[in-house]
A and B are shown apart, each in its own frame.
Chain A
Amino acid sequence: MTKQIDHISKKKFIEELERYRKGSITRRHFMNITGLGAATAVLGATMSGPQAFAAGDIGDRVVLATWPNYHDESNFEAFTEATGAHVQVNVFGSNEEMLAKLQAGGSGWDVYVPTNYTITTYVDEGLIEPLDTAKLPNYDASAFDARYAEAGSVGGKLYAVPKNWGSTGMAINTAHNGGKAISSWKEFFDISRDSFSGRSMVHDYQLTTIGSALNYYGYSFNSVDESELADAEKLLIDVKPHLFAITSDYQPSMRNGDAWLTICWSGDGKQLNTDIPEIHYVLGSEGGEIWSDYYAIPKSAPHKEAAYALINFLLDPNVNAKEVLAHGYPTADSNTYKLLPDSIKNDPILFPAKELLSPLEFGAAVTMTDPNRAELMARFKSA
């Protein structure tokens, strides 16, 4: 890694970043050409002030529980360089799985990434630590769009700070559909049983899989109505023999061509579309999910100081902007937004038109604890 600082244009930087992500250049080359290697060293030097990181005191490790394809690895490396704490990443497929691990105890996590609708449950269960904003100097509450930040506070207390938001739609490989995308959950489940038989995937996650099936009938994504859930179950069990897989880690099979259609989070949609332009990300016209993910600290976190340091580091707009470029989800932080290149600000996958977003719903807390939805998902999987 060179110590010489080369200033390159924003456009060039993005081009190089894309080349790096596609694997056509090595990480070393990327770090050199962009000057990031030097930049991270500078970043580390300027940021390890006593209030940001109690230098040397945070220990050698911080454990992060998060989602697939959700971070820029080089940010973690920069964090380690600045603080000495190594970031250990655990990846999960559903909020239920995260809750189950925390309920069982001994998760060992320091930071985790819950979705908006789950936070009240964590508070009720006494599993989540109220945040001390004095330890998060980079958290500028006024910079965040309240729509994607309000779920972090429960009963006037701050428990979680926004990471990014996104939507849940579908990704379709249009090469197998005469070059055409689809635009509704009705089409999603209908072609899955027809021309896309054996090629489509749903999440291993009750909220989105049951939610999409509910959308098919025009019901609310969040319904816990028994007769509506019965309809959704009938549809899912009817579709099951035609599915390629039930999984929340759907990128590999979309990339290698085994699967052509999947329920998809917008950032994954962006990542897939960037590398394989035939894969389009679309929102269901009947509705779907809009969500916001947060950084939070479990009550049981073994390295709390390191947890604060990591969250604070990731909230730094410069770091966060790199995160956005890597994961392709929109940020609710106006300070970070300002740093993004125009191509990202105008990207229809990250920032869809208002009328496409309006039918979407935020997940409801009740879906997480409703025993009927949990059991429906289990019956669908074991059918």
Chain B
Amino acid sequence: MNDNILTPEQVVEQFQQCLGDGLQASRIVKRSEGLKSAESIQIWLTIDKTKIKIAVQQLCDIQYPHLSVISGCDMGEGIELLYHFFIYYGVARGEYSVTIRTTLPKTDLIIDTITDLIPGALTSEREKQEFFGLQVLNIPDSRRMFLPDDFPEGVYPWRKDETGIKEEMVKKLHEVGKAEGAQRRAKNK
């Protein structure tokens, strides 16, 4: 653990140094709530997908991060993954949120695993594989996590293209039994 705490600007600078052109964008957001308006700090980084491991390693060098979750978004052309990390936990009002964003084009839905650095990322990576249909390289366990075993292959619930949930898969509870009910009422009349 590093004793000297970096400012958010210095954290971004460190990423700049180790990633070079791989760091495509960065912004720092500060939000405050309550009477004293204590600030919470968020760092948002956009990086090239080939640099994900270097970026996570860089984060580990600052402080072993807490990975909250990996979230994702189907943007049409590609799938955006967001790794929500937190560093400097355990320091009163000192925690930074570091979100690493990277885009996977739909023609090349492959990303390196980070489970060798952060074993706890496994749940999240398995979830991304089944819900977005992407492939995590060298993942130690690639079984399904949340989807049932009889869920059809090639359907990815969080995709917004033709591989997403199809209309006929959605069970509309408010329509269940409506036709039968109407028939029964017509018969009783």
A and B part of one assembly: no
B interface residues with partner A (beta carbon < 8 Å):
none
